[in-house]
Amino acid sequence: MSLLNNFFSIVYGAAADTFIAVGSFVGITLLLFGYINYKTEGQLVKTIEERKKLQVVLGALLGLTPGCGGAIMVMPLYLLGKVSFGTVIATVIATMGDAAFVIIVYSPKIFLVVSIISFIVAIITGYLIDFFNIGINLIEKISSKEELKKLHKEFEDEPTELELNAKKESKHKNSLEGILYLFRHNQGYKIFWVFAVLGFALGVMDLMQIDLDTAFPIKNLRVIGALGTFFSIAYTIISKKIIKDDNIGETESKLESLKETLVHNAGETAFVITWIFMAFLLYEVGLEILGGEEVLINLMNKNGFLVVIVAVLIGLIPGCGPQIVLATLYVTGALPFSALIANAICNDGDALFPLLAINKKSAIWVTLYSLIPAVIAGGIFYLLGY
């Protein structure tokens, strides 16, 4: 059967597998971490300002939290001069962004190993940066004391997503933007979590090797997974989050309201599912073109270290989407562990966007200083045969 004739079944299979095997588990996991963050109200972020000597360690711990929220919260602290440049480097080295959820679902053991390695590399690099006073003048060159005070006030006065949404709801009720906003915040997220719960139940049955097509009088339950994936794609488009996901306002809003936690975690999970689907589709189409898994494995073995370099280059792209694709390709067996760890170290997730918006020079240096340990760590694990 030609690729064109087989394309529909590939798309359907990728969509069903995305939601049932991975996406629904990501949703439940993300919801758990979101609820923990909501209950703790970001206490670690407040502590990091007070413990100067432990800032690098605390920054790395924030970076280790799955998703981008912990790393995002460190960026304003750096721009306000409250944490060191080494702390920022440690934070972004430790973070895997939303790609972490893919690895957690696939193998908590692999996630733990990646986290330990990233944490060690983050602390060593962060303290070395601070010891040699690297990056100490990046903020001072653009901000006098008066400008710094003004920037501080801008961050304090910046409305959270929750406050902005309240204004949107009253102002744009009859516009397309308002209608989509109301759907997302009133019905859309509830529909998504219904799909997520159903998908999670099917995923658990699938892990127990129960045939989803014959176990119940209702046949072809996998269609729920496919519908869940397509709804996630639509929800991501409505949320305007194809390129980047969380931002500072949304991160703060999730700490203020349980509903906002549910709304934004639905959007974040839908974003992850959209990119996982793209990765699965890319993998399946790639296999079809190449002629099977054996050809792919041979190709990867011949170009081993080049794969690690490509993973590093992908890690330099701001945002979580490409990193989710790479993590998913690792899950499918298309990439070695050395490529995963190299990408995890230089992957900044959405955390780089606040720096890019306010201080592009700092963002560039953060990217460059996370690249060096990524290449070193990836090279070491490649030489060790992983």
3 state SS of 89? helix
Report domain extents, the chain. Answer: 3-383
Listed range (29-43, 88-102, 315-329, 337-351) with the worst mean pLDDT: 29-43
For position 47, what pLDDT does the model report? 73
| Average pLDDT of the chain to the nearest whole number | 79
147: which residues sit within 8 A by CB, 6+ positions away? Answer: none
Q: What are phi and psi of 67, to 5 degrees?
A: 90, -175
Helices (H), 132-175: 145-157, 161-171
Q: pLDDT (tens digit, 9 = 90+) per residue, 263-276?
A: 878 888 888 888 88
Judged by phi (left if over 0) then psi (alpha if -120 to 50, else beta), residue 347 lies in: beta
CA distance 203 to 168: 37
Asked if residues 123 and 90 have their Cβ atoms less than 8 Å apart, the reply is: yes
Query: CA-based angle 195:198:200, to the nearest 5?
Result: 105
Q: Which two tokens stand for residue 316?
A: 């330099």
Instruction: Find the mean pLDDT for residues 168-173.
Output: 53
Q: Which two tokens stand for residue 117?
A: 């390695």
Asked if residues 48 and 315 have their Cβ atoms less than 8 Å apart, the reply is: no
Q: Which two tokens stand for residue 220?
A: 């072809």
* pLDDT higher than 80, residue 117: yes
> What letters, b where the CB count within 10 A reaches 16 and e where it falls short, cover 126-146?
bbebbeeebbeebbeeebeee
Please report which confidence band the pLDDT of residue 142 belongs to, taking 50, 70 and 90 as the band edges. very low
Maximum mean pLDDT: which of 55-64, 278-287, 349-358:
55-64
CA 294 to chain centre: 30
Half-sphere exposure of 295 (CA within 13 A, CB side): 8
CA distance 70 to 97: 9
Instruction: Find the mean pLDDT for residues 72-98.
Output: 85
* pLDDT higher than 80, residue 1: no
For position 262, what pLDDT does the model report? 82
Q: pLDDT (tens digit, 9 = 90+) per residue, 11-37?
A: 888 898 888 888 888 888 877 776 776
**Long-range contacts (CB closer than 8 Å, 24 or more residues apart) made by 254-260:** 254/34, 254/37, 254/38, 254/69, 255/37, 255/38, 255/41, 255/42, 256/160, 256/162, 257/162, 258/35, 258/38, 260/161, 260/162
How long is the chain? 386
Q: pLDDT (tens digit, 9 = 90+) per residue, 342-363?
A: 999 998 877 788 777 777 888 8
Give the percent of the chain with pLDDT over 90.
18
Q: Which two tokens stand for residue 366?
A: 């953060």
3 state SS of 355? helix
Q: Which amino acid belongs to residue 341?
A: I
Q: Which two tokens stand for residue 355?
A: 């720096």
For position 339, what pLDDT does the model report? 92
Listed range (167-181, 226-240, 367-381) with the worst mean pLDDT: 167-181
Please report which confidence band the pLDDT of residue 118 belongs to, taking 50, 70 and 90 as the band edges. very high
Asked if residues 378 and 348 have their Cβ atoms less than 8 Å apart, the reply is: no
CA distance 212 to 209: 9
For position 21, what pLDDT does the model report? 83
* pLDDT higher than 90, residue 376: yes
Asked if residues 15 and 230 have their Cβ atoms less than 8 Å apart, the reply is: yes
